[in-house]
Amino acid sequence: MRRNPFGVDICCRKGSRSPLQELYNPTQRSLERVSPPWLELSNTAVLHQMRRDQVTDTCRANSAMSRKRRVLTPNDLKHLVVDEDHELIYCYVPKVACTNWKRLMMVLTGRGKYSDPMEIPANEAHVSANLKTLNQYSIPEINHRLKSYMKFLFVREPFERLVSAYRNKFTQKYNTSFHKRYGTKIIKRQRKNATQEALRKGDDVKFEEFVAYLIDPHTQREEPFNEHWQTVYSLCHPCHIHYDLVGKYETLEEDSNYVLQLAGVGSYLKFPTYAKSTRTTDEMTTEFFQNISSEHQTQLYEVYKLDFLMFNYSVPSYLKLE
Is the residue at 28 inside a domain? yes
85 and 221 share one domain: no
Asked if pLDDT for residue 4 goes beyond 50, the answer is no
Helical ranges in 196-281 per DSSP H: 196-201, 207-215, 217-222, 232-236, 252-262
Same domain, 98 and 203: no
One domain, residues 178 and 260: no
pTM of the model: 0.90
214, 294: one domain: yes
Residues 51 and 151 in one domain: yes
Question: What tens digit of pLDDT does each residue of 189-232 get?
Answer: 999 999 999 999 999 999 999 999 999 999 989 989 999 999 99
* Domain extent at residue 125: 19-158+231-278
Residues 113 and 253 in one domain: yes
CA–CA gap between residue 24 and residue 34 (Å, rounded):
16
By CB neighbour count within 10 A (0-12 exposed, 13-18 middle, 19+ buried), where does 255 fall? buried
pLDDT in tens, 226-255: 999 999 999 999 999 999 999 999 999 999
Q: Mean pLDDT for the chain?
A: 89
Q: How many domains does the chain have?
A: 2
Task: Verify that 182 and 110 share a domain, yes or no.
Answer: no
- Is residue 318 included in any domain, yes or no? no
Looking at the fold, whether 148 and 297 belong to one and the same domain comes out as: no
State which amino acid sits at residue 263.
A
Q: Is the pLDDT of residue 170 over 90?
A: yes
Confidence of residue 69 (pLDDT cuts 50, 70, 90): low
Is the domain of 306 the same as that of 207?
yes
Tens of pLDDT along 12-67?
555 568 999 989 887 655 555 555 554 566 788 899 999 999 999 999 998 877 66
